[in-house]
Chains A and B, each alone.
Chain A
């Protein structure tokens, strides 16, 4: 290969080939240790199975702590071609970052080698707070235990940071109330503003190195905390260390402290009887943290802001409503009210967003819980008696105005109740807020989406266009209430298509309008949208 000189021949070293090469790019020559895993040219856990290592290069961008150069090349199953791609990638890095000193616009987190505490992984998730941290702010934090998981035969504990006890003010993290309920641990924090690193990008390894970043007040606090905290606690006491990163954000790293053995000692101040606290010469165990704020949690995709930023009321949470609710929550909605008088029974599970495990349960409570499980930013209200109440009290007079006022507080109302009374009532209330009605025909052959004004009229007019098949219904043994036949897939595909269309309207500021979708089974399944 041109530009590649073999220095040490490759040898077999426990499932790995290792050797030394020198790479020449326009006269610049750099030596590398090359490690090739047995699975080469395939990837290993999503990463390349070949490494080019040179520890002298760690101060350059895209170099790992072990001196490995980060090159990500394309998939290629042919060994010779893959090797060529990888060498080209390495040459590209040398050209860009070693010779060219290119700085990449994309911010990369500092490099941290994460450890374990008592052979268990710990993860601390943090989110935004309404508090501006100043340099050397410190204090206690409240933790909430989220769950225990397992991976590669190791236990993993996940905690949420729920509150920073700041001077004069407690800064609650913006998780929803559901995730704020119990305080199950305690920790410490200090905001040091600049990242605690050596070689620009590598986090400090020894407690001694941290001393330069903190002030005596914090050391005193640490000493007092060491006295105050129950030494029997077997969990790590996380010390969160915060610093600024681009985009006006704070990132927190977490150093583990053993409750029984704080990494500090007292040193006599010469000429006085006073002692001052110093960090011990001891390696830091860094535990994993993650910024789990709304914008990262939903970073991979959200629905239109007009949908996610508002208050949404979903009336009727059967197959359509529950699928819709779960899509909205995964799409970034944070304020949802569920209205349904019904109870969930085992036979609902097969095509709605319910689980068997919760048994027979009120639908609003059951779905509410399932939705809370999805997102830590969700606030749910439930209204079991909504339809009964509105049908009972609607009278055309003052009561209507009260209903209008209540319902207009929502930014979006989606009626999935398949109840024509409800459609009629919602239409006649002439609400200012957007009302959308979603319903399906038997076998979910059609999904109809109508919106106000004239929602009820459009609903009846569009249904009049269909030849409804009311005979072929599902009649369970001994049941007086036949229902449509349709699978979860039949319904969900239509609901998702409709949500995509509605979301598109909101994104382009166009009213969603009235339409129906039809799934036609010929040689292939075609879903077509008919607009009105």
Chain B
């Protein structure tokens, strides 16, 4: 699907099959939260972010109301993707809100700001995907941290 963040004019593209895959992964941990990294690439004009895959954390903690993603083992995989042909890079984060809303919590907003500011992160506008999940299906919410603020794509 194609989405646009109207307020700032940035676009996002993601395959529905990937969303299905993330939902299925998330449901394995239901009713607890779960998540991981989003990988992909930017368009030439740097106005569109294409999300193409996910990397799942080896270490994590989760409950019904929070999800803590570890970083172990992820750098190696990201470096491999960076040198692959075609290249993929880290573009953001995803996690589920089981039986919840697709909107970001304050913790989520803070986490995205931390990622933006982190010196080992080479991009400045990470994307956040929240999947509001239930056994009946899911509703995705897409956000981008741009200039210290989280914007929603529509």
Direct contact of A and B (CB under 8 A): no
Interface residues of A (CB under 8 A from B): none
Interface residues of B (CB under 8 A from A): none
